[in-house]
Structure 1
């Protein structure tokens, strides 16, 4: 296979050609006077083919004829567009459950290579191992070392705990007959739709005008009059700017609370605009007086002469629960707030609803402007039937059941696997396939994942 000639090499080749040309025309020497094929001579001197030499000479002479400096263009590089990977919340949920199945069914810890092959064979995800590594890291997984010094791929314990408690609570609320309302926010741009859980679909999205959409619904359909749509960066209207804590609280008070049943359960994620804390713990960037005041409010003893580092140590030792302003507003109105576990949009049916509306919008108004899109969206939301909402809710309930079943048996399955591995190490009779899988996982994750 031929190698492309760089610009620097072409410059050198042409200078060599000019050198031999001057020697040929120099009457004081007869060394190259009879040389009728300078291209061949340059080829022998440089090692490039005669055809390449002739192309370089032709290109350089053409530039000289037009009176421009001889700066030969570099070879054109082949551009291979980066493969776009379609990742969504439901694929992420499958990845979580696949990892758990390795311990419960295959009785071994998954390596990136084996996990990637399984996801490809199941038509779940076709990506590189590096992309998969980044994905499972973002989902909250990391390798931990067990007693036998083997590494196990384990989900963060706090995420497992939050998911377990969330599923347990929402199942109890359903059994109690409570109305469960799911909240969600997304936005639409001139050329693209993107939910607040999507990542990496567009660059500089904050600078691009878009329609911000906030809505709520249950298995009975969208909450009446709860739809909010406004254009970002607008300076007029009741809602302006971008979605923030002020706009979200305004929507809660004006559009959500008047239109939901009493004693409802409100399910939401932990987006920044709905997670403003009450009496938030100070940090080292806080003023010393603020740190002292917080400790006084908590009734914790401290000395006024203490340095900030000592105050911070006392603050870190206080095991205080987080309290949010939005939760306080909803609780005062008789409602219960249930927070989704981090990175689990597959437990929110409104994410499926966004996908359905997105598909219709792309088919009907892909080339329309934002004002036209607002009208189209109003029609799409008004025509979205309660039956479709119920189907989305049923799908999420199935996800809950899968998580519940998987998480409930995971501790025992993991313990059995650890005992099995320890016994094999004691007997010095490791299974070859198990050894290969574990060794691969160690090599794949030599870089420790701290989340």
Structure 2
């Protein structure tokens, strides 16, 4: 009934005015300015069903049998959509007796989510450089410093602001001047990490570094010598020359996981597999089950008393059991407390129940406990500090070798070049990378002292909480560490 009333009103408004009782046509109403509707990318399921009903109603109730084009035109006016949309919906409905399902479109990833950890770490060091020089790192200064660096991408002012938030910097006031500081809990994490790894070195423990990266079939060097005198393929053909190298497509992707120390890669510990997707974040291809299976194999190859350094990727950090939080139901929290023999009163609210236990005591990671059962310690890197993991520099060398020698851009050749790259990396290259990280650690120790001095007289800052940790390296080359 509602549909018919709606159609009647729309058709009545579109019809021509009829003559009045005096034989003269009534004055035309003032033109109504049509409201422009927002352009839709696609109709919803309900709107498509409504469109089909309108079309069928017009077809059945018209006094003369109209053409399809007239039906499309009238339906498009009523629905306020294009005739092409009406035609496509009705064509699908005629063939399948159902309206088409809306197409799911992949969500666009933000620019900052596409930045690898090398670029993020480089931007972090730009901020710290201001501390070393005794300057206050305002966002305007950081924006200028990053965009003037040819080795880094150019960003807009707004994107730079979001990058700083992603890097867990806080924005506060100091003596009427703006200043950016590391979030306090991350600074504590970094200090504790540096103290622990220094303690392990003094105890002469073997320290291994673990990480993942990726390689595409089309991986190649970003820079190549080009002949600027060649302006066209015809000119190159007539001169018996080539038009240069074309940039290949990305192609399929390999996910690579390995572990090593100053003695080189741990023999037989590489884990390489072909990814299902060729783009996006490669961390989505990893899962805790397969990583833990590989990690068990690694533990059988290293001596008890060793230390393994890794980041905080989700598949590295699966918890042995869930720990209550505010999203839990009250009865579920109470049941969990009973299972741990923790006393509580039934009248207490959830916030009170959650104070009955120390969360850190029960948040146990499976990987850490598995390593401890073998006499091995897992040491977690602070977020966004990939410069403290020497294997990141090793990845750059391996990728550089593959990129320089990749000719066919086929998966078979990529796998061969990858194995060759691994074979070319020995104790000498690893020792250089570890020594480079030792220098980075010393600089960070000095920086933390500078931050303590700089952060005096600050007011309470706005803390931006960002969780998660990613770590991958691009094919950036370090001249001092090349193969």
For the aligned pair, the TM-score class normalised by the smaller chain equals 0.5 to 0.7
Query: What is the match of residue 169 of structure 1?
Result: 196
| Correspondence for 1:275 | 317
Output the CA distance in 2 between the equivalents of 1:327 and 1:367. 42
Alignment of 1:131-280 (within 5 A): 131-145=159-173, 151-192=178-219, 209-233=252-276, 242-254=285-297, 256-280=298-322
The reply to whether residue 129 of structure 1 matches residue 168 of structure 2 is: no
- 1:54-65 alignment to 2 at 5 Å? none
CA distance in 2, matches of 1:373, 1:396: 29
Using the TM superposition, give the Cα deviation of residue 408 of structure 1 relative to its aligned residue in structure 2, in angstroms: 2.3
Summarize the alignment of residues 413-428 of structure 1 with structure 2, pairs less than 5 Å apart: 413-415=454-456, 418=457
Distance in 2 between residues matched to 1:264 and 1:101, nearest whole Å? 34
Normalising by structure 1, report the TM-score.
0.62
Match of 1:320 among 359, 365, 378: 359
Q: Deviations over 1:422-449 (max 9, x none)?
A: 9xxxxxxxxxxxxxxxxxxxxxx9x985
Relative to 1, partners in 2 of residues 1:233 and 1:290: Cα closer, same or farther, differing over 3 Å? farther
2-structure distance, mates of 1:316, 1:354: 44
Q: How does 1:19-418 map to 2 (within 5 A)?
A: 89-103=117-131, 105-106=133-134, 108-121=135-148, 123=150, 125=152, 126-145=154-173, 151-192=178-219, 209-233=252-276, 242-254=285-297, 256-286=298-328, 288-304=330-346, 310-315=349-354, 318-321=357-360, 322-365=363-406, 367-415=408-456, 418=457
| Count of aligned residue pairs for this structure pair | 317
In 1, Cα distance between equivalents of 2:116 and 2:286: 22
Task: Give the C-alpha shift of residue 84 in structure 1.
Answer: 12
Secondary structure at the aligned position of 2:395 is classed as helix
- Point out the more displaced range, 281-290 or 383-392: 281-290
* Unpaired stretches in structure 1, ≥5 consecutive residues: 1-82, 194-204, 235-240, 423-444
Distance 1:95 1:232 in 2: 29
Q: CA deviation at 1:153?
A: 1.6
- Give the secondary structure class of the aligned counterpart of 2:185: helix
| Alpha-carbon distance in 2 for matches of 1:291, 1:367 | 58
**Other structure's SS at 1:213 match:** strand
Where 1:225 maps in the other structure, the secondary structure is coil
Shift of 1:249: 1.1
Deviation per CA, 1:392-432: give whole Å up to 9, x if none.
Answer: 111111111111111123212332xx38xx9xxxxxxxxxx
Shift of 1:260: 1.5
Structure 1 residues 330, 386: closer, same or farther in 2, change over 3 A?
Answer: same
CA RMSD of aligned residues (A): 3.3
Take 1:178 and 1:161, find their aligned partners in 2: how far apart are those partners? 23
Q: How far apart, CA to CA, are the structure 1 residues paired with 2:287 and 2:168?
A: 26
CA distance in 2, matches of 1:277, 1:84: 28
Q: Cα offset for 1:140?
A: 0.6
Query: In the superposition, relative to structure 1, how do residues 95 and 243 fare at CA in structure 2: closer, same or farther (>3 Å)?
Result: closer
* In structure 1, distance between residues paired with 2:338 and 2:173: 41
SS of 2:455's partner is: helix
In the TM superposition, residue 129 of structure 1 has moved relative to its aligned partner by: 2.3
Query: Counterparts of 1:320 and 1:93 in 2: how far apart (Å)?
Result: 30
Q: Which residue of 1 aligns with 2:93?
A: none
Deviations 1:295-344 (A, max 9, x none): 224443334466xxx22553267432132110001011011110000111
- Native 8 Å contact 1:269 1:340 kept in 2: yes
* SS of match in other structure, 1:277: coil
CA contact (8 A) 1:102 1:110 kept: yes
Whole-Å Cα distance in 1 between the matches of residues 365 and 176 of structure 2? 42
CA contact under 8 A between 1:97 and 1:403: conserved in structure 2?
A: no
Q: Tell me the distance in 2 between the aligned counterparts of 1:311 and 1:224.
A: 51
